[in-house]
Structure 1
Amino acid sequence: MYFLYTIIASLAVFFILKWLKKRRYCTDLRRLDGKTILITGGNSGIGKETAIALAMRGARVIIACRDSDKAEKAVREIKLKSHSLNVLYMELDLANLSSVRDFCKSFLQREKKLDILVNNAGMPGVLEWTDNNFSMCFGVNHLGHFLLTNLLLPRLKECAPSRVITLTCSSYKYQKLDFQDLNYNQLPFFTYCRSKLANIYFSQEVARITEGKGVTSYAVHPGKRSFVQSGWTCHYSILFRMLVQVIMWMFFVPCEIGAQTVIYCAVSDEAAKHSGGYFIDCRPATLRPFARDAAVAKKLWEASERLVNLA
Structure 2
Amino acid sequence: MHKKAKVVPQPKVNPQQHAKMAEDMKQRLKVEELAENIDELEDVVEDVFPLLMITVIISSLILVIFLIRMYIRYSVNNPSKNRMDGRTVLITGGTSGLGKATAVELAKRNARVIITGRDLVKAEAIARNIRKKTGNQQVNAVHLDLGSLRNIRDFADDFSKSEKFLHVLINNAAYMGPKSVTDDGLERTLAVNYLGHFYLTHLLTDKLKKNAPSRIINVISDTYVRGKIDFDDLALNKGYSVYGAYTRSKLAQVMFMLECHRRLFSSCVWSFGVHPGACNTELLRNYPGMMGNILRVISRVMFKSPEDGCQTIVYCAVSDGLREFSGKIFSNCKALKPSDKVKDKDVAKKLWNVSAQLCGFKDETPPEEAAAPAPSTEEKKEQ
For the criterion TM > 0.5, the same-fold answer is: yes
Partner of 1:92: 144
Q: CA deviation at 1:120?
A: 0.4
Task: Report if aligned partners of 1:135, 1:183 keep a CA contact under 8 Å in 2.
Answer: yes
Q: Residues 176 and 287 of structure 2 are in contact (CA less than 8 Å); yes or no, is this contact kept in structure 1?
A: no
Aligned residue among 109, 128, 132 for 1:57 = 109
Match of residue 180, structure 1, among 232, 238, 259: 232
* Letter in structure 2 aligned against 1:145: H
Matched, 1:251 2:302: yes
Q: Which residue of 1 aligns with 2:253?
A: 199
1:40: how far off? 0.4
8 Å CA contact retained: 2:89, 2:114:
yes
Matched residues in 1 for 2:63 and 2:244: separation?
36
The structure-2 alpha-carbon separation of the partners of 1:81 and 1:245, relative to structure 1 and needing over 3 Å to count, comes to farther
User: Is the CA contact (8 Å cut-off) linking 1:56 and 1:82 kept in structure 2?
Assistant: yes
Matching of residue 289 in structure 1 with residue 343 in structure 2: no
- Give secondary structure in 2 for the equivalent of 1:248: helix
Matched with 2:87 is 35
Question: How much does 1:281 deviate?
Answer: 1.3
Q: Residues 229, 110 of structure 1: CA spacing in aligned structure 2 closer, same or farther, 3 A cutoff? A: same
**2:216–2:270: 8 Å Cα contact kept in structure 1?**
yes
Output the CA distance in 2 between the equivalents of 1:8 and 1:205.
Answer: 47
Task: Check conservation: 1:126, 1:136, Cα contact below 8 A.
Answer: no
Kindly, what percent of the aligned residue pairs are identical?
39
1:149-188 mapped onto 2 (5 Å cutoff): 149-184=201-236, 186-188=240-242
Task: Call closer, same or farther: CA 1:144–1:10 in 2, change over 3 Å.
Answer: closer
Say if 1:218 and 1:276, in contact at 8 Å, map to a contact too.
yes
**Which deviations, in whole Å up to 9, do the C-alpha atoms of 1:39-64 show, x marking residues without a partner?**
00001100000000011101000001
TM superposition shift of 1:222: 0.8
- The answer on 1:77 being equivalent to 2:120 is no
- Of 5-14 and 130-139, more deviation after overlay is shown by 5-14
Structure 1 residue 237 displacement after superposition: 5.8
| Cα offsets for 1:11-54 (capped at 9, x unmatched) | 45434322331211211000000000000000110000000001
Q: TM-score, normalised by structure 1?
A: 0.93
Residue by residue, what CA displacement relative to the aligned partner does 1:54-112 show, whole Å, maximum 9, x if unpaired? Answer: 11101000001110122122112222232211100111111010000000000011000
In structure 1, the residue matched to 2:370 is: none
TM-score when normalising by structure 2: 0.76
Corresponding residue of 1:66: 118
The aligned residue for residue 99 of structure 2 is: 47
Separation of aligned partners in 1, 2:241 and 2:63: 38
State the shift of 1:297 in Å. 1.3
Alpha-carbon separation, structure 1, partners of 2:290 and 2:244: 23
CA contact (8 A) 2:227 2:250 kept: no
Change (3 A) 1:239 1:213: same
Q: Give me the whole-angstrom Cα distance separating, in 1, the residues matched to 2:345 and 2:133.
A: 41
Asked if the contact 2:124–2:142 (Cα under 8 Å) also holds between the matched residues in 1, the reply is no
Distance in 1 of aligned mates of 2:163 and 2:131: 20
Equivalenced residue count is 308
Determine the C-alpha separation between the residues in 2 that align with 1:82 and 1:126. Answer: 37
Q: Which amino acid aligns with 2:334?
A: R
Higher relative contact order (CA 8 A, sep 6+): 1
Larger Rg: 2
* Aligned ranges 1:207-226 → 2 under 5 Å: 207-223=261-277
TM superposition shift of 1:177:
1.2
- Counterpart of 1:260? 311
Between the aligned partners of 2:331 and 2:341, the Cα distance in structure 1 is 18
1:120 paired to 2:172: yes
User: Measured at CA, do residues 229 and 113 of structure 1 come closer, stay the same or move farther in structure 2, by a change above 3 Å?
Assistant: same
Quote the residue 2:353 is aligned against.
Answer: 302
Distance in 2 between residues matched to 1:222 and 1:308, nearest whole Å: 28
| Structure 1 CA distance for aligned equivalents of residues 193 and 358 of structure 2 | 14
Please provide the CA RMSD for this pair: 1.9
State the distance in 2 between where 1:182 and 1:238 align: 24
Contact 1:162/1:214 (<8 A) preserved? yes
Instruction: Please tell me the residue identity of whatever aligns with 2:186.
Output: F
Confirm or deny: 8 A CA contact 1:28 1:268 kept in the other structure: yes
Alignment partner, residue 235 of structure 1: 286
Question: Quick one: which amino acid aligns to residue 142 of structure 1?
Answer: Y
Question: Aligned partners of 2:348 and 2:259: how far apart in 1?
Answer: 6
